């Protein structure tokens, strides 16, 4: 289990615990905490937009990393 911190630049930080082999589930966990739809969430690591079918380990996302959270 890893813990990822997502910052939406509006003053809200979300801490989510998830496995390193999922990305789509991460969006669903963030949506449950923020109250938004999971398909409207866009996760970014610097300028790279995270795709749903690629795992977090493939993007080299590890415990304690910050991701940018934006909405479509």
Report the DSSP pairing between strands 48-49 and 13-18: unpaired
- What's the CATH fold of domain 2-71? Ubiquitin-like (UB roll) (3.10.20)
For residues 18-45, give the mean pLDDT.
Answer: 88
Determine the Cα–Cα distance for residues 15 and 7; give it in Å rounded to an integer. 9
* pLDDT score recorded for residue 16: 92
Position 72 pLDDT exceeds 90: no
72 close to 40: Cβ distance less than 8 angstroms:
yes
pTM score: 0.85
């Amino acid at each position: 289990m890893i813990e990822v911190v997502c910052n939406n630049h509006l003053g809200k930080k979300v801490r989510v615990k998830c496995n390193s082999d999922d990305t789509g589930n991460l969006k669903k966990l963030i949506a449950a905490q923020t109250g938004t739809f999971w398909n409207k969430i866009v996760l970014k690591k610097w300028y790279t937009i995270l795709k749903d079918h690629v795992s977090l380990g493939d993007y080299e996302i590890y415990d304690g990393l910050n991701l940018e959270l934006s909405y479509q």
